[in-house]
Structure 1
Amino acid sequence: SPTARQLAGWSEPPIRDEDRLWRIVDVLVEIGAQRGVSAAQVALAWLLGRPAVSSLVIGGRTETQFRDNIAAASLMLSGEERERLDAVSRPPLLYPYWHQQLTAKDRFGAADLVIDRSGI
């Protein structure tokens, strides 16, 4: 929207990969349209189901936005929907993680597997 902070000259937070951002938004919008809910609700429901996420901070400018955010707690995404969101949002592996994938994946412990974002 033309009133969005990023479009109104607000430079924080910086967008490091705009194409990646829009690919994620497109999947959130598609899943929301299929479910009859907002993309924001899909994003919050997805985050609530992520490993190591125990809570979210939500907010809104209007009561409608706030109610929509709260409804995310009741939205159960399918495995396929979660997989789509995981795949489109997976950050590229940086060193040493790409190196570990190549040399030590067979020795990963439980803690390593939680942070493993390679999808391999």
Structure 2
Amino acid sequence: YLKKFDELEKVHPRYNWHYKDCLTQAQVVTEGISANTALENSYNLMQSFIQAVETGNTHELKSLITSKDSIGTLMHKTLLTFKYNLKAVLNGAALPYSNGCLEGFNRK
């Protein structure tokens, strides 16, 4: 589960023994992703992707899926899968239907 950056704690720092300092959740995430450009791009792309799915913004989704940013190999594979199934991904974001019941039935 990827927590939205807006929901991270930004006011009350807590001691982080990895950094040996008191930092907020937002500071820890910012420090962590700034270590690698591909990681930072992947994180930002995923945050934007979640936002676009929640709002049903299919134009933004299509733009994110066809993004040319430098991202990690696993994120690249994910985007290729989304690009291959672009129509289904866009319909899934735009339409209010869910196949959750069917998936639950299939698992049984």
TM range (shorter): under 0.3
* TM superposition score normalised by structure 2: 0.28
- Per chain length, whose mean CA-contact separation is higher, i.e. which structure has more relative contact order (CA < 8 Å, sep 6+)? 1
Q: Which one has the bigger helix percentage? A: 2
Higher fraction of strand: 2
